[in-house]
Structure 1
Amino acid sequence: MQGLKQHLALFRKLTFKLLCAAICFGLSGAARGLDSGLIASTVAEQSFVDQFHLEADYLSASQKANRLSNITSMVHIGSLPGAIVAFLCSERIGILWTFRQCCLMWIIGSIVFITSRDLGQVYAGRFIMGLGIGQFGVMAPIYLGEVAPREIRGMLVGLYGMSEYLGIMIGYFSIWGASIHIPDSSAKQWVIPQSVQIMWAGLLLIASLLCEESPRFLCRKDRPLAALQSLARLWNVSPLDPGIHVEVSNVKIQLKLEREVASRSGLIGVLKELFGTKSHLKRIAFVFILQCLGEWSGPNSVTTYAPELFGLFGIQGQSQKLFTTAVFGAVKFVFALISAVFLIDYLGRRKTLYIGLVLQVIALTYDSIFLTIFSSLSGQSQDDPAVRHAAIGAIVMIYFIGIGWALGWNSIQYLITAESFPLGVRIAGVTLVTLWHYANRIGISKATTLMLLDHDSLTPKGTFWFFTGMSLLGLLFTWCFLPETAGKGLEETNELYTGDRGGTTPHDQKAAN
């Protein structure tokens, strides 16, 4: 009880300016969620299918799967150059102005998409959307990690991952509501829900006017006084407060140490330092493996293709599939919120991820077994009570797959990325990892439709067994190699990801001096 009281007391550190940061940068994660939730159901809407010929008779099964995956993955493809744009802009004009620019990019892409008249315009609009949405994955975790007090850093960065499921839930329910009230023959059935993205981007753009630039970015630009004032406003203390002077001093010490090790000049210098230092390469390899294990463990594919997967387990009727999918999004949102607010800082990163991965493995194993047994049944009807009850259990397990991901990988992956790299190469390192993250999302998004085909592929049962195996590998890797960083300062956490547990921190250097 005492521990819970201490945890709740941390909410007092959530000042007005930090709340603005949480609303603006934290809720920017909803961009990817909105797209995933909306497009997952949009491509299943009869009006969209008919307008863009997704089920045309002249297409083979693999061609239909490719066309579907091209539409769903185009935002991920646009996110790759988007992450590079975020890196270039953040280095020059700062994180805050880069954030405003990508909100405008997202709005432009959404307008192009919802006014589409042919498949080419669909691709173009979603690619431009990706250019905007892809930048959030670089900026938001960095910004939230840099402005948050260490005691609530996990919660603030976790809000970015949580808000992805807020977006998914809104997207699912928007499409479901439109499918009920708008006829299948009208393009408004998918256009109106998609317009939610324009409204969301506009709200984020307005909210950014109340935010402060990152104090650590200001230190990198040799503006320590501006950094002190920014941090004072963020934490709602006097610029003379000893705490913020220690925080800025630690940042300056780390920057000085990094500049003594490598003399950097511009973009080329940053990249040389990132790839030419053994400790940075260890960080990159570590986070790359975690990102790969997380993305290929399956839950994001379950989210993207939820209506089709619910159909595998006996949910009939388009409206019923969409409603079940919408509830699925709501469940994931609730548990992602629980993880971000109550678990990541209270239980720690490792324990929270263990809980999520164990649930994920159990649920995926059940569904894999169900699909293996059900696909081998020949004379037994789906109306058989035993089969029907087992199918209900499989549907419940789909929900637990989402719960496991929401508690574990969903928030932790962004937090680990934000904590891994030292300040001098943080934006470059996070950009590189984000590119890898998006590349894996493209791969799994395009592969899943082909993996689920009944012929010349893994089939549904093989796909779920593959996801189960990847989740087990993720659990094993986490158990062996993931350090616990809860309660550590941001200038301390990056030492832990190199395996150099005895490494000095800026605080230690200052004490020694």
Structure 2
Amino acid sequence: MSNLKDQEKNKQIDEINSVNSQEELPVQQQQQEKEKPKSKFHWRFTDPNSPKEIYNWTLYLSVFVFGILGSARGYDEGNISGSVAQVSFKRQFGLLDPNKDADEIANLKSNITSMVQLGSVGGSLLGMYTVDKFGRVRTLQGICILWIIGAIIQITSSAVGQLYAGRLIEGLAIGQTVIVANYLSEIAPAGIRGTLHCIFAGAVYLGIMLAYFANYGTSKHMSGDSRIQWVVPTSMKIVLAGLIFILSLFFCIESPRWLVKVNKQEAAINNLSKLRHLPTDHPYVLGEICDINESIMAEKEAVHNSGGIISKFKELLLIKSVRYRFFLISAAAQVLGQWLGANAITIYAPELFAFAGIRGEEIMKMTAVLGVVKFCSAYFSAFFLIDFLGRRKALYIGIMIQLVSILYFAIFLTVVPQAAHEDAILTTSQNHASKAAMAALYISGMGWTMGFNSVQYLLGSEIFPLGIRSFAQGLTMVLHFANQYGNSKAVPKMLIAMNNYGAFYFFVGVMLIAIFWAWFFLPEVSGRSLESMDDIFNLPWYLIGRRGAELYK
């Protein structure tokens, strides 16, 4: 009781001293204090505690080159969606074969579209090795070379087997693009790390947009009987990969953190000096190098204590807080995110616009507009919404936007199934409904970029303990590409078996599950320390998502 009284007394003394010190301030200074603007959301980042030199074009160019590697995956998704809709491509690879029934055609189409995702599963596993063995920059250059090889094999294909091989090799390259997250987190100043990470996520939609426009351009200006109609958009992969490779030779600086990790201390200091535009003996550079050394020592100790791969698997399965993070947060985000229908809309967009009554060249035009919508929405959401609203709220809003728009599209396909027929003549009201269905696909893309698109990448990098973080994140990306493969493979058959509209009702059902998952299992983790993460995930499982953030603020 006496301790409580002492604490109360000390509190009162502190308040009195605070008032007295305020009274001693000059009147003019007190007026200035009152006039100071309150903290608010800023559209431009300011960092008064760091040298201004650290925000420079050397840093931004290096980040840009690595960031646009995300366009590799996006360009393929957008490119193959248009290719399988081109008459010349269909004829070349048997998609117009009259001897094949609808199920065989669907199976062939799904094999072609999903082969990159299958290769990406192996690529993500390969990237876990190459990124530490050869460094970030050399791995980037190797990815570009592998990407070019895959593209060359595809554009010279005359049989579907060779096309499969080229797309599988391209997948091995795309799967390794997970190295970008490592690089960006290692070279970015802490204050803008989240923003710079968004460049990669947005670049996926830059690739999609470019591919959609390439498909639209060849569809509009080249004959449908010409092989070049699909070869030209596919060959743009060589241009993109070559451009990134050349830029990496001039603008990319190897990660100082990786150099320290491989015992190249002097090179690490020199590279950090270049990235920060500060002398090698500047206190800021020396302090950051000390932090890197301490972080790597802690990481090595944590990895050593966690044992080998078997021990890490045991940790994922047997330690309840880690098991919750992996299965109910990270893995669940990948499964739910890939089966909401967003990936299906990206890859099969031309076919879906045809379901809405769009015909001929207009299909490719509307697909190109979808690319612009997703690109703009991805960067707007990443820069201005995810950190401002918080992970959970942004996810809620994104899922709800997707749910309403996809539900409308499913209802349209149910009520106006004849819109999908080539010779259909729609009434005025049906034509209006068709345009709204087309808009629904655009709006669903906006919901995806606002919610799951960002969250599925962020969560894995934030929630795992240091000792198994890289291992768990690698497994997460394997799940990511495996679910993408399954989704790409399944959608054509789902559209046949479920009469088109049934697949979209299925996606709506997954969204309802995702809303419950976000409410019950997912805590708000933005801006939290590792210690705080451990506190939240050590709560009883039924409190983590609903009250974890509230109990540990």
TM-score by length of 2: 0.81
Deviations 1:5-55 (A, max 9, x none): 364436976422331233122111100110011100011100111111212
CA distance 1:18–1:107, shift in 2 (3 Å): same
Question: Are 1:192 and 2:192 counterparts?
Answer: no
Q: Distance in 1 between matches of 2:273 and 2:531?
A: 21
For 1:44, which of 82, 85, 105 is the aligned residue?
Answer: 85
Q: Distance in 2 between matches of 1:357 and 1:244?
A: 43
Q: Distance in 2 between matches of 1:20 and 1:14?
A: 11
Cross-structure match for 1:276: 314
Q: 1:178: Cα distance to partner?
A: 0.8
Q: Distance in 2 between matches of 1:54 and 1:131?
A: 25
Cross-structure match for 1:464: 504
Q: 1:143: Cα distance to partner?
A: 1.7
CA distance 1:92–1:251, shift in 2 (3 Å): same
Q: Distance in 2 between matches of 1:232 and 1:344?
A: 31
Question: Do the aligned partners of 1:255 and 1:423 also contact (CA within 8 Å) in 2?
Answer: no
Report the residue type matching 2:82 in the other structure. Answer: S
For 1:54, which of 95, 105, 108 is the aligned residue?
Answer: 95
Greater RCO structure (CA 8 Å; 6+ sep): 1
Question: Do the aligned partners of 1:158 and 1:414 also contact (CA within 8 Å) in 2?
Answer: no
Cross-structure match for 2:437: 394
CA distance 1:56–1:341, shift in 2 (3 Å): same
Three-state SS of the structure 2 residue aligned to 1:59 is coil
Q: Distance in 1 between matches of 2:172 and 2:254?
A: 22
Q: Distance in 2 between matches of 1:397 and 1:49?
A: 28
Q: How does 1:104-503 map to 2 (within 5 A)?
A: 104-136=145-177, 138-209=178-249, 210-223=251-264, 226-243=267-284, 247-260=288-301, 263=304, 269-277=307-315, 278=319, 280-285=322-327, 286-317=329-360, 319-375=361-417, 383-422=426-465, 424-453=467-496, 457-487=497-527, 495=534, 498=537
CA distance 1:293–1:248, shift in 2 (3 Å): farther
Question: Do the aligned partners of 1:151 and 1:487 also contact (CA within 8 Å) in 2?
Answer: no
Q: Distance in 1 between matches of 2:265 and 2:133?
A: 17
Q: 1:443: Cα distance to partner?
A: 0.4
Question: Do the aligned partners of 2:303 and 2:467 also contact (CA within 8 Å) in 1?
Answer: no
CA distance 1:241–1:425, shift in 2 (3 Å): farther
Q: Distance in 1 between matches of 2:472 and 2:279?
A: 33
Q: 1:121: Cα distance to partner?
A: 0.7
Deviations 1:84-140 (A, max 9, x none): 22111122122221111111000000001001111111111111111111110x211
Structure 1 runs (4+) deviating above 6 angstroms are: 10-13, 491-494
For 1:3, which of 40, 45, 54 is the aligned residue?
Answer: 40
Q: How does 1:13-92 map to 2 (within 5 A)?
A: 14-92=55-133
Cross-structure match for 2:5: none
Q: Distance in 2 between matches of 1:103 and 1:344?
A: 30
Q: Distance in 2 between matches of 1:131 and 1:52?
A: 22
CA distance 1:123–1:355, shift in 2 (3 Å): same
Q: Distance in 1 between matches of 2:127 and 2:532?
A: 24
Q: Distance in 2 between matches of 1:200 and 1:329?
A: 17
Cross-structure match for 2:24: none
Report the residue type matching 2:164 in the other structure. Answer: Y
Structure 1 unmatched ranges of 5 or more: 502-513
Q: 1:222: Cα distance to partner?
A: 4.3
Structure 2 unmatched ranges of 5 or more: 1-37, 541-553
Q: 1:434: Cα distance to partner?
A: 1.1
Q: 1:429: Cα distance to partner?
A: 2.7
Which has the larger displacement, 416-425 or 162-171?
416-425
Q: 1:142: Cα distance to partner?
A: 2.1
Q: 1:424: Cα distance to partner?
A: 4.8
Question: Do the aligned partners of 2:118 and 2:168 also contact (CA within 8 Å) in 1?
Answer: yes
Deviations 1:255-310 (A, max 9, x none): 44454455369xxx552453232355443322111111101111110010001001
Q: Distance in 1 between matches of 2:212 and 2:234?
A: 11
CA distance 1:238–1:465, shift in 2 (3 Å): farther
Cross-structure match for 1:505: none
Q: Alignment length, in residue pairs?
A: 489
Q: Distance in 1 between matches of 2:214 and 2:238?
A: 14
Question: Do the aligned partners of 2:302 and 2:466 also contact (CA within 8 Å) in 1?
Answer: no
CA distance 1:261–1:419, shift in 2 (3 Å): closer
Which has the larger displacement, 252-261 or 471-480?
252-261
Question: Do the aligned partners of 1:275 and 1:281 also contact (CA within 8 Å) in 2?
Answer: no
Q: 1:373: Cα distance to partner?
A: 2.9
Question: Do the aligned partners of 1:113 and 1:122 also contact (CA within 8 Å) in 2?
Answer: yes
CA distance 1:261–1:25, shift in 2 (3 Å): closer
CA distance 1:32–1:383, shift in 2 (3 Å): same
Which has the larger displacement, 346-355 or 418-427?
418-427
- Cα RMSD (Å): 2.8
Question: Do the aligned partners of 1:158 and 1:412 also contact (CA within 8 Å) in 2?
Answer: no
For 1:93, which of 126, 134, 139 is the aligned residue?
Answer: 134
Report the residue type matching 2:498 in the other structure. Answer: L
Three-state SS of the structure 2 residue aligned to 1:213 is coil
Three-state SS of the structure 2 residue aligned to 1:459 is coil
Q: Distance in 1 between matches of 2:505 and 2:381?
A: 27
Deviations 1:305-325 (A, max 9, x none): 0010011111122x1101100
Question: Do the aligned partners of 1:86 and 1:135 also contact (CA within 8 Å) in 2?
Answer: yes
Q: Distance in 1 between matches of 2:314 and 2:145?
A: 36
Report the residue type matching 1:345 in the other structure. Answer: D
Report the residue type matching 1:413 in the other structure. Answer: Q
Question: Do the aligned partners of 2:256 and 2:272 also contact (CA within 8 Å) in 1?
Answer: yes
Question: Do the aligned partners of 2:153 and 2:162 also contact (CA within 8 Å) in 1?
Answer: yes
Three-state SS of the structure 2 residue aligned to 1:443 is helix
Which has the larger displacement, 203-212 or 368-377?
368-377
Q: Distance in 2 between matches of 1:418 and 1:225?
A: 29
Deviations 1:430-458 (A, max 9, x none): 221111111000000011001001xxx22
Question: Do the aligned partners of 2:305 and 2:467 also contact (CA within 8 Å) in 1?
Answer: no
